[in-house]
């Protein structure tokens, strides 16, 4: 073969070898798939204990129902029933040990994340009642008129 074929081929082979050498140096020996059927696939086996000690950030609605039964039941019966409490109230990582840490966000921006009107007819997003934030009471928080635990069709 001529030089114009050998040179690019050697460059590619050198790059592949360089990648394999860097991978052998950088990737830990215990990284990979360790047991058949492990649902998370690639992971570092030495990291398992670190993750067991990791404090769970999101608790779920069942955790909230331990103290706030009435609010959780109201939300579950409402049109917001499929939304986890922490989507609006933030993660309950330090609640109830430190109740002031769980802030209740009543800002317009929180509601507008889902309720700003978007004209996507082929998406489920179009089925959510939406508003034009620039014209629908722009200087007020949504909770001044709407109770998020009791959203009604006529409210939107």
pLDDT, tens digit, 9 for 90 and up, residues 47-84:
888 888 888 788 888 888 888 888 888 888 888 888 88
Please state, in angstroms and rounded to a whole number, the distance separating the CA atoms of residues 68 and 104. Answer: 14
**CA 34: distance to chain centroid?**
27
**pLDDT band (50, 70, 90) for residue 155:** very low
Higher pLDDT, 105 or 21: 21
3-class DSSP state for residue 31?
strand
Per-residue CA distances from 50 to 39, 53, 96, 113 (Å): 18, 5, 24, 34
Average pLDDT over residues 130-142: 88
End-to-end alpha-carbon separation of the chain, Å? 74
pTM of the predicted model over 0.85 = no
């Amino acid at each position: 073969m001529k030089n114009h074929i050998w040179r690019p081929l050697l460059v590619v082979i050198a790059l592949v070898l360089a990648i394999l050498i860097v991978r052998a140096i950088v990737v830990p020996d215990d990284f990979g798939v360790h047991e058949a059927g492990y649902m998370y696939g690639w992971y570092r086996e030495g990291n398992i204990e670190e993750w067991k000690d990791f404090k769970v950030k999101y608790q779920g609605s069942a955790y909230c129902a331990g103290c706030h039964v009435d609010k959780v039941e109201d939300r579950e019966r409402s049109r917001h029933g499929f939304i986890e409490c922490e989507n609006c109230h933030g993660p309950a990582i330090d609640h109830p040990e430190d109740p002031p840490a769980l802030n209740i966000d009543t800002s317009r921006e929180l509601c507008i994340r889902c309720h700003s009107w978007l004209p996507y007819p082929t998406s489920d997003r179009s089925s959510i009642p939406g508003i034009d934030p620039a014209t629908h009471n722009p200087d007020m928080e949504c909770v001044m008129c709407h109770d998020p635990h009791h959203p009604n069709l006529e409210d939107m």
